[in-house]
Chain A
Amino acid sequence: MAFSFRIDRRSGVPSYVQIVQQVQQALRLGLLQPGDRLPTARAVVEATALNPNTVLKAYRELESQGLVETRRRHGTFVTGTLGASSADSPWRAELADVAARARAAGLERDDLAALFTDVLEDLYPSKEPDVVSPQA
């Protein structure tokens, strides 16, 4: 399955994280499905000019998340799925309700986003420090 990565070097997000996120996003949107073969790490290296260790780190992370599986000499295959699209989610209505009430109480969009990020951080503490550092 042809799949290209777009690495934004000035985004402040480490390159290997961008690779992981783009695969996750593709899974969420149904652009990648279980059984699809990802490009070889070597092909990604040549296309992105990233250090091979960076790409391997990303593929290992996807594997540890149960989203892909690497079979020697065959390639790396999508094995997992990620949650339904947001429109179908049963949680959407509840979240929309809370957001509407918060807005009526005077919260701006950024306030609400920051609040929700805080809640998520408490619930799902990140494994890596959640720091946006300027990329060199």
Chain B
Amino acid sequence: MSYPPRPDAALVADGVSKRYRRRGPDVLDGCTFHIPAGVVCALVGPNGAGKSTLLELAAGVQRTDRGSLEAFGGQVWAGHPRVAHLAQHRPLFHRFTVAETLRLGARLNVGNWDAELATRVVDPGRFHKDDRIGDLSGGERTRIALALALGKRADLLLLDEPMADLDVLARQELMGLLMAHVADTGTTVVMSSHIISELADACDHLLLLDEGTTRLCGGIDELVAAHAVVTLPGGLDRLAGHTVVEARPAGRGTSALIRTAGAPGDDWEVRPPSLEELVLAHLAAPGVPGLAFPPNPPSRLHVKETAA
């Protein structure tokens, strides 16, 4: 297993904004983040946070209204040879058979196609040779669309809810294949999901979006280590000096998720947060400043500050 080092960051966003209607809301609103090459990044956030839009922008399928988005140091564009995209609606030709779809993948990616991997993901024994894509279930279409994305020898995989309509067996199998592919090639993966617990084992990086902006971005170990869940006698005043992300009463005391800064009190219980706790706490606290590792450089553009 090898991890070929890639000096360019896989995906860098600086003040990305996007809206769909002239007077509509900004789906992405000054979104800034840096995803290094070689990571498996969980893209997480509530519905409407801008996850699918971000993946489409990175795939070059949509254009940003403001801000820049770069993959491997260069502009993103539709058909970028190093970037593959699994869109949420699994775009496939419904009249094609499974075999024809794979042939399409090979033809669209001449010189850049891993036929063996695509076939292994499809697992043709599951399908009859005359099955047309339109006859298949959602989960089966996802499997085939995933095969097309993996078959393209891309260095950046943008996967929009890849496990969403897969049954539990297929999830285990395909996630295993995806992780093995990462192990073999060091490819960067950005995958969105609503189910954080599923992502926790596969992902080593997190990008949390809410209302179109970045709330957290960085290695999961680093982000978790920067926070603590503390339980202590007394109220919030005892937490002065620490950034409190979320706090709640605990009998005569307080339980809070904080950004660690200095030593805890002697009478505090301290433990690291789970990934899910970290995400939920930040979604419940939009006023708390976002956190990124490495810290975001000052934007070249004016970035709208979140209201305090």
A contact residues vs B (CB 8 Å cutoff): 7, 9, 15, 40-42, 45-54, 56, 129, 131, 133-136
Contacts and interface: CB of A to CB of B under 8 A. Distances in A.
Given A136-B196, A136-B197, A49 B175 contact: yes
A135 B176 contact: no
Nearest to A46: B180
A52 B271 contact: no
Contacts, number: 72
Interface of B: 1, 40, 172, 175-180, 182-184, 196-197, 200-204, 271-279
Give the 9 A-B CB pairs with smallest separation, nearest first.
A136-B275, A136-B276, A49-B175, A46-B180, A52-B183, A136-B200, A136-B274, A49-B176, A46-B176
30 contacts: A9-B200, A41-B1, A41-B183, A42-B183, A45-B1, A45-B179, A45-B180, A45-B183, A46-B179, A47-B176, A49-B176, A49-B178, A49-B179, A49-B201, A50-B179, A51-B40, A51-B182, A51-B201, A51-B203, A52-B182, A52-B183, A56-B1, A133-B272, A134-B274, A134-B277, A135-B200, A136-B197, A136-B274, A136-B275, A136-B276
A85 to B, nearest CB: 32
A52 B277 contact: no
Contacts of A45: 1, 176, 179-180, 182-183
Interface of B (DSSP majority class): helix
A91 B242 CA distance: 48
B197 A133 contact: no
Contacts of A133: 271-274
Contacts of A56: 1
A54 B204 CA distance: 9
Given A41-B1, A51-B201, 15 more contacts: A9-B200, A45-B182, A45-B183, A48-B176, A48-B201, A49-B175, A50-B201, A51-B203, A56-B1, A129-B272, A131-B271, A135-B274, A136-B197, A136-B200, A136-B274
Most buried by A among B180, B183, B272: B183
Contacts of B176: 45-49
Nearest to B219: A53
A133 B269 CA distance: 13
A116 to B, nearest CB: 22
A131 B273 CA distance: 11
A134 B275 CA distance: 9
Contacts of B203: 51
Given A40-B1, A47-B176, A53 B276 contact: no
A52 B3 CA distance: 10
A51 B202 contact: yes
A42 B277 contact: no
Given A42-B183, A136-B196, A51 B1 contact: no
